[in-house]
Amino acid sequence: MADTIALIGNPNTGKSSLFNSLTSTHAHVGNWSGVTVDKKLGKLKGANTTVIDLPGVYSLDPLAKDEAVVADYLMHNEPNLILNITNANQLKRNLMLSLDILELGYPVILVLNMIDSLHRTGRQYNLSILKDNLGCKIIATNARGHYGIKDLRNEIVKRGDFKEGPLKIAYPEIVQQAIRQVARDLVKKFGFTLQKATWLSIQYMNKNKYVRKYAESHHLTPLLEQTEYYDRQDFNNKILTRRLEFINKLLAEAVERVNGVNDIEISNQIDRVVTNPILGVLIFILILFLMFKLSFDWVGTPLSDYFDSFISGPLSNTFDNWLIQVGAIPALRSLIVNGIIAGVGGILAFIPQIFMLFACIAILEDTGYMARAALTMDRLMQVFGLNGKAFIPLIIGFGCNATGVMATRTIEQPKERLVTTLIMPFMSCSARLPIYALVTAAVFPQNQALIMLGLYLLGIFVALFMAKVYEVLFKVKENSTFVIEMPDYHVPRLDVLFHSTWENGKGFIKKAGTIIFAGTVFIWLLSNFGPAGFITNSSGSFAAIIGRCLVPIFAPIGITSWQIISSLFTGVLAKEVITSSMMVMFHTSSQAVLVANLTQFISPTTGLALLTFILLYSPCTATLATVKQETGSNKWMIYSLLSSTLIAYIVAFIVFKLSSLII
Amino acid sequence: MLDYESMMINMKKQYKLNSLLKLNQATVTRLNNLGIHSGSKIKVVRFYPFHGPVIIENNHQRIGIRYSVFKILTSGEENG
């Protein structure tokens, strides 16, 4: 079996950052809980070892969905080594998870990360006392400052001389006896190893929700029969108390005073301003504004324009000339130039904007600002029946709805998570930008930025409105919980920003190469073939026939052009495809030409209705698939598709009617 | 019930938490995860207006909680 190392630790311990330093392939790193929404794999640098980065969890007893991933992993896998990453400054509570892991009995290296911030408080730990009492190796690191990484890697490669067997904590005799008894039964009847059976029993007594469910579904009768007894005897509190005693005693022994700088913590200073009730909100708005400016105005758009003029100009012409020279048949030339280059190239031109947006999100995550944003927004979000923690996924939704839906896993309460998932598609994702840019350029060339801002705001408004509706329907308020850790601020690390942006952005490039490519070819076929075979005039094509059939449905919201209707249809594949389909339908590879074409087809009022419809209608296939995966049901996926399309139609109708009155 | 003004005065105070029993299970679990148990001592770092969130500090760790949770946590005894 391949050599496998699992990274397990609390959120905000620098786990993913350490993963990046250790491995040659990279995961997404962030500074708030739940950045690693599913396990990520990497290869240890210079060794044939797989490293698995699991989501940050506080304990093995899952409260939020991402936490179940870890319990599930340990239940079904046997890693050769576990790296338990802890925040040295918060060792006391971090060790609660360590005990869970050490009791399992796999070889463990306990990593005291962020050791620098511990030293700043004037403390350090005697590593050999920790080692002797916990029975595992201890290494101190500072992943951000690259301190101790080499030692850690050497220790991983060296392996060897790990203490045999799991950590044994002196639980009260009544608990010990129960553990011995039930573990013996589990070994005998179900073939568990004694080690695993013991661990399973402790977790079960400790009311670990995942393990209890597992025991039920696997009919582990020895445990099930004793449930009432364990709970009546308050076993979980007995275990918790003894563990706390163990940790307190250990840390009291191991702690040493050093000449701490005891500097006025910078984080506290920053927090004084950033979490200021009034100033904090202003800063928050300013940050959002800067984010949009950077992405769509100062950096992203100029680069995109440059890129586009290259693709639609020199690149497209070179290919066209070359194809003429080699004597390609017109149909093939049309497929390559008007189909593939126009469609895929038109989308690739948006890479700068999208990467810029992801880079901004990465900065907010890596500095530790996201947790503050969630806190600042909680009160307001509650008004709409949402949790402050929904805020971060929704912001991520501006980048990509599918990623946003995945990020909702950090919301503990299932109903709040469902509502956040359902309103996610109304967050205007970056894939919708290309088509906004086109339509606004055609209809409102003077007020592009204003109209786009309006669209984002409209999306947010509809999202919040629907959240309120769902709050009443689902009775969300019950059992809502909001407790959030405020990590220390960090200066963002460039390599982390780069990798995070790349990890998120590369999905977009991948899509351009696969689904958008396929979509474009499909659209090209539909618009270049008709009942009469290959045609040069697309008004006789299949696309035209389908589009014309749908005109009566779209006429009430002002859209009467079959080209646009057919393009909208393809947008369900991926929102970027709308633009590329239009390029194909209007037979051009230049945005400027397309804009000129659109100007003839849509009036300002139609433009507004069209933009509204595009903003709100059915989520793309990737998002739909994620909704299904995260809610675990087809029902919510179909609901999401139908409800958002219906809402889009209604709102677009209202916008059309209202704007007809005004304009 | 404390109003905002008097809470501002209480900012410097240290609260010793009584019992987490009246909170819902998810909140208790999360507080435990972050090292807060009954008997823990916390300091208030910031109150937000309109009964917004409260930032508390325990053991060099800052945690954001809702005002309603804070009220339950600190009802009863408090040590100056």
Q: What's the burial of B50, exposed, middle or buried (CB within 10 Å: 0-12/13-18/19+)?
A: exposed
| 8 Å CB contact between A435 and A653 | no
pLDDT band, residue A605 (cuts 50/70/90): very high
Q: What's the burial of A632, exposed, middle or buried (CB within 10 Å: 0-12/13-18/19+)?
A: exposed
- A75-99 b/e (C-beta count within 10 Å ≥ 16 → b): beeebbbbbbbbbbbbbbbbbbbbb
Query: What is the distance in angstroms between the Cα of A262 and the nearest Cα belonging to chain B?
Result: 12
Q: Which of A150-159, A506-515, A527-536 has the highest mean pLDDT?
A: A150-159
> Residues A225-247: what's their mean pLDDT?
93
Q: How far apart are CA A353 and CA A338, in angstroms?
A: 24
Which residue is closest to A120 within chain B, CA to CA?
Answer: B60
**The pLDDT of residue B11 is above 80:** no
pLDDT band, residue B2 (cuts 50/70/90): very low
Where is pLDDT greater, at A228 or A163? A228
- What chain A holds in terms of domains, given with CATH numbers, is 3-158 (3.40.50.300), 173-257 (1.10.287), 284-476+496-662 (no CATH)
**Which residues of chain A make contact with B33, given a CB cutoff of 8 A?**
58-59, 63, 93, 96
pLDDT tens-digit map of A574-593 = 788 888 888 877 877 777 88
> Residues A366-370: what's their mean pLDDT?
85
What stretch of H or E contains A624?
helix A621-631
Q: Which residues of A touch B (CB under 8 A)?
A: 58-59, 61, 63, 89-90, 92-93, 96, 121, 240, 244, 271, 275-277, 371, 374-376, 378-379, 388, 412-413, 479, 481-486
**The pLDDT of residue A308 is above 70:** yes
**The pLDDT of residue A100 is above 50:** yes
Considering only the beta carbons, identify the residue of B45, B49, B66 that sits closest to A378: B66
**The pLDDT of residue A454 is above 50:** yes
Q: Domain B4-74 belongs to what topology?
A: SH3 type barrels. (2.30.30)
Query: What is the distance in angstroms between the Cα of B6 and the nearest Cα belonging to chain A?
Result: 17
Q: Which of A239-248, A484-493, A560-569, B8-17 has the highest mean pLDDT?
A: A239-248
> Residues A519-540: what's their mean pLDDT?
80
Where is pLDDT greater, at A442 or A586? A442
> Residues A456-480: what's their mean pLDDT?
88
**The pLDDT of residue A337 is above 50:** yes
Chain B, residues 10-69, CB within 8 A of chain A, namely 24, 26-27, 29-35, 37, 45-46, 48-53, 55, 59-66, 69
Query: What is the distance in angstroms between the Cα of B29 and the nearest Cα belonging to chain A?
Result: 8
Q: So where are chain B's domains?
A: 4-74
> Residues A132-145: what's their mean pLDDT?
90
**Which residues of chain A make contact with B71, given a CB cutoff of 8 A?**
none
Query: Are B61 and A93 within 8 A, CB to CB?
Result: yes
In sequence order, the 6+-apart residues with CB closer than 8 A to the CB of A632 are none
Query: Are A482 and B53 within 8 A, CB to CB?
Result: yes
Query: Are A93 and B29 within 8 A, CB to CB?
Result: no
pLDDT at B78: 46
Query: What is the distance in angstroms between the Cα of B33 and the nearest Cα belonging to chain A?
Result: 6
Query: Are B33 and A59 within 8 A, CB to CB?
Result: yes
Mean pLDDT value across chain A:
85
pLDDT tens-digit map of A636-661 = 999 999 999 999 999 999 999 999 99
**The pLDDT of residue A313 is above 60:** yes
In sequence order, the 6+-apart residues with CB closer than 8 A to the CB of A555 are none
Query: What is the distance in angstroms between the Cα of B77 and the nearest Cα belonging to chain A?
Result: 22
Q: How far apart are CA A347 and CA A154, in angstroms?
A: 45
Query: What is the distance in angstroms between the Cα of B79 and the nearest Cα belonging to chain A?
Result: 23
pLDDT at A38: 59
pLDDT tens-digit map of B16-59 = 887 777 888 888 888 988 988 888 888 898 888 888 899 999 88
Looking from the CA of A254 toward its CB, the CA atoms found within 13 Å total 21
| 8 Å CB contact between B54 and B68 | no
**The pLDDT of residue A540 is above 70:** yes
Query: What is the distance in angstroms between the Cα of B11 and the nearest Cα belonging to chain A?
Result: 14
**The pLDDT of residue A456 is above 70:** yes
C-alpha distances in Å from residue A326, one per residue of A59, A319, A322, A323, A331: 65, 11, 6, 5, 14
- CA A153 to chain centroid, in Å, comes to 28
Where is pLDDT greater, at A196 or A398? A196
Which residue is closest to B59 within chain A, CA to CA?
Answer: A90
**The pLDDT of residue A34 is above 50:** no
Which residue is closest to A58 within chain B, CA to CA?
Answer: B33
**The pLDDT of residue A76 is above 70:** yes
Which residue is closest to B48 within chain A, CA to CA?
Answer: A277
Query: Are A58 and B30 within 8 A, CB to CB?
Result: yes
Q: How far apart are CA A86 and CA A401, in angstroms?
A: 32
What stretch of H or E contains A210?
helix A209-217
Considering only the beta carbons, identify the residue of B26, B49, B53 that sits closest to A412: B26
Query: Are A271 and B55 within 8 A, CB to CB?
Result: yes
Q: In this structure, what DSSP letter does residue B59 have?
A: T
**The pLDDT of residue A249 is above 90:** yes
Query: Are A96 and B33 within 8 A, CB to CB?
Result: yes
Average the pLDDT over each of A33-47, A114-128, A529-543, A629-643 and give the range with the smallest value: A33-47
Query: Are B37 and A482 within 8 A, CB to CB?
Result: no
pLDDT at A32: 45
Q: How far apart are CA A88 and CA A112, in angstroms?
A: 5
pLDDT at B3: 47
pLDDT at A253: 95
Considering only the beta carbons, identify the residue of A271, A275, A481 that sits closest to B27: A481
Question: Phi/psi class of residue B58: alpha, beta or left (left: φ > 0; alpha: ψ in -120 to 50)?
Answer: beta
**The pLDDT of residue A115 is above 70:** yes
Query: Are B52 and A378 within 8 A, CB to CB?
Result: yes
**Which residues of chain B make contact with A375, given a CB cutoff of 8 A?**
53, 55, 64
Query: What is the distance in angstroms between the Cα of B43 and the nearest Cα belonging to chain A?
Result: 14
pLDDT tens-digit map of A374-391 = 888 888 888 888 888 898
pLDDT at A2: 67
pLDDT at A512: 65
- Of B20, B30, B49, B42, residue with least CA distance to A93: B30
**The pLDDT of residue A131 is above 60:** yes
